[in-house]
Amino acid sequence: MSFTERVFNFSAGPAVLPLPVLLEAQRDLVCYPGGGASVMELSHRGKVIDGIIKEAEARLRRILGVPDDYHVLFLQGGATTQFCMIPMNFLGEGGADYLEQGTWSKKAFGEAKRLGRAEVVWSGKEGGYSTLPEDNEYKVRPEASYFHVTSNETIHGVEFHRDPESYGVPMICDSSSDFLSRPVDMTKYAMMYAGAQKNVGPAGVTIVIIADSFYQKLIVDEKRPIMFDYRNHVEGKSLYNTCPVFAIYIVGLVLKWLEEEVGGLENMYARNQKKATLLYKALDESEGFYKGHAAVKARSLMNVTWRLPNEELEKQFAKEAEEAGMIGLKGHRSVGGIRASIYNAMPYEGVEKLVEFMKKFQERNA
């Protein structure tokens, strides 16, 4: 299959990557310029990979506005490993407070609860995880070691469109599914982490950004497994062990695309708003045939979730969409329905095609 036959990939992750990134990686796959071998064959301690990692970090700092006194790490294990790694390093006697906004924040809380004291200060469970709290709907305990939020819940399609209030407690954000989709004020976060495979690269690398002021609060435990101790990764500058060199290389190419071709986060945010507006308009104008899951104020720009009148129609929708050149629209197995992930790299034309398909499908099946 040539790249001209590529389908529109609405999968939640591993997700769509920018075509220019894939084409550049294709050119460099066998022999990286100046390296004499593929990126996958070069030593992670050699000058080529060292340069790739340093350039990726520098671009990330520029794009996101990461202050100099923050550490940037490229780790492995996905965001799920961070669910346990964070409390292993930072959960003190005061415990930690969590917002429970959906599946992933619930899992993060569960890991913290296994390791010490953790409290849910707000939960969207009763509403089926369709809403998010206003700042005055929860209180963070001042003695808490940290306050954990999830900026975007991939499965339920709800997203914060602001920086939540942490009431002076260090705030940690799982930003896996909306990382680099819009501008954020990094100074409001003690830590931010994101699995790359949704918005910034392939599976295999997780980006972790930690304020040094928070890092200095790390609880020293010499019995902690070495790979779960942030000290080793900070001191080793992401090279304590063999890092996922190819995944980091692709992240670097995505950052290059975002900075040089898109023009930064303000432009990316405008693109994402335009795509989401078109898709939500199709839901709202379907006269109930398509029922969106998320409350309007909490609608995600990244993961749009909805139901059809019955499960048989949902299966038929996903099947016919795939036949029409659109894959990955089946909802998560835990909730069903339909989910369209329209991450940064999803072109507007892909959403246009989906909306056109939705209208014709409704005409045939309403």
Q: Which of 86, 64, 60, 63 has its CA nearest to residue 74?
A: 60
Residues catalogued as catalytic = 104, 174, 198
The Cα 116–Cα 119 span in angstroms is: 10
pLDDT by position in tens, the chain (length 366): 455 689 999 999 999 999 999 999 999 999 999 999 999 999 999 999 999 999 999 999 999 999 999 999 999 999 999 999 999 999 999 999 999 999 999 999 999 999 999 999 999 999 999 999 999 999 999 999 999 999 999 999 999 999 999 999 999 999 999 999 999 999 999 999 999 999 999 999 999 999 999 999 999 999 999 999 999 999 999 999 999 999 999 999 999 999 999 999 999 999 999 999 999 999 999 999 999 999 999 999 999 999 999 999 999 999 999 999 999 999 998 899 999 999 999 999 999 999 999 999 999 998
DSSP 8-state secondary structure symbol assigned to residue 264:
S
**For the domain 21-260, what is the CATH code?**
3.40.640.10
pLDDT given for residue 5 in this prediction:
81
pLDDT given for residue 334 in this prediction:
87
Query: pTM score > 0.85 for this model?
Result: yes
Domain boundaries, the chain: 21-260, 264-365
The dihedral over CA atoms of 170, 174, 179, 183, expressed in degrees to the nearest 10, equals: -30
Q: Which of 257, 281, 290 has its CA nearest to residue 361?
A: 290
**For the domain 264-365, what is the CATH code?**
3.90.1150.10
Answer yes or no: are the C-beta atoms of 322 and 178 closer than 8 Å.
Answer: no
Q: Which of 289, 332, 317 has its CA nearest to residue 129?
A: 332
Bridge-based pairing of strands 171-174 and 147-150 is parallel
The Cα 306–Cα 226 span in angstroms is: 43
